[in-house]
Structure 1
Amino acid sequence: MFIVIIRTIILYAVVFLTFRVMGKRQIGELQPYELAITIMISALAAIPMQDTDIPLINSLTPIILIFSTQIYISAITTKSSTGRRIICGKPTILIENGQIVEGELNKSRININELLEELRIKGYPDISEVEFAFIETNGSLSIIPKSQNRPVTPKDLEIDTNYEGIPHPVIIDGQIHTKNLEKLNLSPEWLKEELTSLGIDNPSDIFFANLDSEGNLFYQVYRQKNK
């Protein structure tokens, strides 16, 4: 049993490191070669965990080899447009200038019902509202609506807007995040004073709190409603 535990920990560490280096992508966002690598590594890691008679090196060697190949392929797709086109392919236009491209639809093995379903999921139940639709190299559908069907923006109305930065979490699970406060040139003492003015004496009573770019403090107390 001890050997099984050790083998499992080693394989988990190797697989975790491999996927960590591959980057932060969801399964649906993987390129075809990345999905193939993911499946192969998972299968290779499972074999020696199920059968302890198989030497661990027999699984680690191909995983490391695939890991090295992944790094090399990633370098090619990053630096070479030709290599990226060969390995990843190129986007396919399914709707062009408001017209369905039947030939590309057939090449992509997508029927009209599937296209309509994807358009509804994206928020376009009426195909006449779509100017362009692409199948990206990772299989996702990108849509460019017709100009008259696009949401109105402040720019369209010539309205000036204030800068909106990213809110910084300052308390998570009752713990003050001093690094985020330092980014804002604030101190834990300042935060405690702010909480005291709101009737909260102990930061550990806060489940979550963040500070937006305008200095507004949002917080939620444990087992209570937002305030």
Structure 2
Amino acid sequence: MIPYLDIVVRSICVYFFMVIALRIFGKKELSQLNASDIVLILLISNAVQNAMVGSDVSLEGGIVAAFSLFLINYIFKKIINKSPFLSRLVQSKPEILIHDGKIDFNVLSKLDITSDELDEVIREHGVDNYKHVKLAMLELNGSISIISGKENLRQTRHKRIHKTLGEITT
């Protein structure tokens, strides 16, 4: 039983390392995975496998590690939902990008969203000018939601694509 306890402890440590790393390096990029994101996730999973199970490559060892990850994720989500402090610490908050036709360039700069990207999202939602946007928000999941117009109040959603070094922008 002690070797399996070692796997549980290692798995929990790796889980919390990944939560912290994703918070530091940005969760917003995970809202829409591109090729480099998938490669990164695959390489990280391969890199931390040995850290979790050590020399135990048995079926039981793998199941114990997987079960530990599912369990700690379940417990951690329950704790986050009950603790406003931990929720603020781990999760980002929605950010207002446009309010009543006025763009908040400080927020755009902080979030590394260019005005061209914002214009593109606005056009994709069928709005021809940012002045017609009542509210644009970067949501917790990384999507940008747009509420436009005063008479025809409508809400649309757009997943923000995070541009990486491997992508060519025009």
Question: TM-score by structure 1 length?
Answer: 0.41
Q: Structure 1: which amino acid aligns with 2:62?
A: S
Determine the structure 2 residue equivalent to 1:64: 67
The structure-2 alpha-carbon separation of the partners of 1:39 and 1:98, relative to structure 1 and needing over 3 Å to count, comes to farther
Residue of structure 1 aligned with 2:145, choices 142, 147, 150? 142
Determine the structure 1 residue equivalent to 2:102: 99
State whether structure 2 residue 137 is matched by structure 1 residue 113: no
Q: What is the 5 A alignment of 1:169-184? A: none
Question: TM-score by structure 2 length?
Answer: 0.53
The structure-2 alpha-carbon separation of the partners of 1:104 and 1:68, relative to structure 1 and needing over 3 Å to count, comes to same
Determine the structure 2 residue equivalent to 1:77: 80
Q: CA RMSD in A?
A: 3.4
Greater Rg over alpha carbons, structure: 1
The answer on whether the counterparts of 1:116 and 1:127 sit within 8 Å (CA) in structure 2 is: yes
Q: Return the offset for 1:149.
A: 4.5
Distance 1:67 1:100 in 2: 41
Q: What is the 5 A alignment of 1:49-60? A: 54-60=57-63
Q: Structure 2: which amino acid aligns with 1:145?
A: S
Q: Return the offset for 1:137.
A: 1.0
The answer on whether the counterparts of 1:41 and 1:63 sit within 8 Å (CA) in structure 2 is: no
The structure-2 alpha-carbon separation of the partners of 1:138 and 1:148, relative to structure 1 and needing over 3 Å to count, comes to same
Q: Return the offset for 1:142.
A: 1.4
Q: What is the 5 A alignment of 1:131-170? A: 131-150=134-153
The structure-2 alpha-carbon separation of the partners of 1:146 and 1:102, relative to structure 1 and needing over 3 Å to count, comes to same
The structure, 1 or 2, with the larger RCO (C-alpha pairs under 8 Å, 6+ apart) is: 2
Determine the structure 2 residue equivalent to 1:209: none
Distance 1:86 1:40 in 2: 26
Q: Structure 2: which amino acid aligns with 1:102?
A: F
Determine the structure 2 residue equivalent to 1:125: 128
The structure-2 alpha-carbon separation of the partners of 1:121 and 1:113, relative to structure 1 and needing over 3 Å to count, comes to same
SS of equivalent to 1:147: coil
Distance 2:64 2:43 in 1: 13
Residue of structure 1 aligned with 2:93, choices 85, 90, 94? 90
Gaps of 5+ in 1: 1-26, 30-34, 48-52, 152-227
SS of equivalent to 2:76: helix
Indicate the larger mover: 96-105 or 82-91: 82-91
